[in-house]
Chain A
């Protein structure tokens, strides 16, 4: 009998009867969608922090797809079904960031896209796209970049977010 919770390279995985959710902590930018949307499944204060019995498979898929990075991703346990998964069904890197897969060329007009700036609910600023980043005297060219910047002032990794807003109870009012 397979255990519901297992380690894999770079993270952990959690299963129910339908799907496996993969968690890669190093990729997390603390956007906080997962626990704001579905604390019954994703509770950072609980160990293990993912409880696959907390919601329906459809709802878990919906919330995993909100993750702006590859920190959370999912697959059907039935591999046949994975063949039918398209970009509209998943947040998987193969569909969202094809340039990182190396085998599919990015469409040229993609470079024309505006930079996306999102203010997360009581959380960081998430910036995605092609931009020049200047901080602490550094200038970095970010192409297809994704950064998460502190908005509460309490991060130990300034200017970047380290999730401190959750501990300090930062409220966006």
Chain B
């Protein structure tokens, strides 16, 4: 195998139509306002602005 071959990308950022942002893979996360940093493998982030648990989705977009 060619050593210069590009590595397979494993992190997926998916914009769910009418729903949150789903991110899976190797994630380093930082929330500036809440001063949170961390690493995770999966997260669902609010895109509608109405979640009561920002930055995460709490299904408020359905209401």
Distance (whole angstroms) from the CB of A33 to the closest CB of chain B: 9
Total chain B interface residues with beta-carbon distance under 8 A? 32
A79 within 8 A of B: no
Q: Which residue of A lies closest to B46 (CB)?
A: A151
Contacts of B3 in A (CB 8 A): 108
Q: Find out whether the CB atom of B33 lies under 8 angstroms from the CB atom of A119.
A: yes
Contacts of A152 in B (CB 8 A): 49
* Separation of A111 and B50 alpha carbons in the complex (Å): 35
Distance (whole angstroms) from the CB of B14 to the closest CB of chain A: 4
Q: Find out whether the CB atom of A115 lies under 8 angstroms from the CB atom of B15.
A: no
Q: Find out whether the CB atom of A134 lies under 8 angstroms from the CB atom of B55.
A: no
| A-B CB contacts (within 8 Å), total count | 100
A118 within 8 A of B: yes
Cβ 8 A contact of A149, one of B11, B21, B27: B21
Stretch at the interface among A42-50, A86-94, A120-128: A120-128
* Separation of A119 and B56 alpha carbons in the complex (Å): 10
User: Which residues 34-56 of A sit at the B interface, judged by CB distance below 8 A?
Assistant: none
Cβ 8 A contact of A151, one of B13, B26, B43, B55: B55
Q: Find out whether the CB atom of B13 lies under 8 angstroms from the CB atom of A132.
A: yes
19 contacts between A and B (CB under 8 A): A111-B6, A114-B27, A115-B28, A117-B29, A119-B29, A119-B30, A122-B33, A127-B23, A131-B25, A132-B12, A132-B13, A136-B17, A143-B9, A149-B15, A149-B47, A150-B47, A151-B54, A152-B49, A173-B54
Distance (whole angstroms) from the CB of A127 to the closest CB of chain B: 6
A162 within 8 A of B: no
Contacts of B48 in A (CB 8 A): 153
B62 within 8 A of A: no
